[in-house]
Amino acid sequence: MLGKSDELKDRVEARKHELIARYHELKADTAHAAIETRTKLKKKLDELESDLKTGWDNLDDSIRAKLNTWLEKDKE
């Protein structure tokens, strides 16, 4: 059975892979809207990497809450 940390990690990693795939799709598109979307995706991915820089085993409650909020908000 997965713990809350494992579940969060799996959800974040799945969403991260979705964003990376979308980012790579947009790299070929030179339209202005695609460039803006790609820039926003890159910013999200960079922020995620910054939040995870201490590693999954060292996340504090504020980062966990931030990740959960990010996952919920990013569904929209």
Q: Check whether 33 has a pLDDT greater than 80.
A: yes
Mean pLDDT in residue range 8-15: 94
Q: What span, in angstroms and rounded, lies between the C-alpha atoms of 47 and 28? A: 23
Question: What pLDDT, on a 0 to 100 scale, did the predictor assign at position 13?
Answer: 95
Its pTM surpasses 0.85:
no
Question: What pLDDT, on a 0 to 100 scale, did the predictor assign at position 75?
Answer: 63
Crossing angle of the two packed helices 61-74 and 32-51, in degrees rounded to 10:
160
Question: What pLDDT, on a 0 to 100 scale, did the predictor assign at position 30?
Answer: 86
Q: What span, in angstroms and rounded, lies between the C-alpha atoms of 55 and 41? A: 21
Question: What pLDDT, on a 0 to 100 scale, did the predictor assign at position 20?
Answer: 94
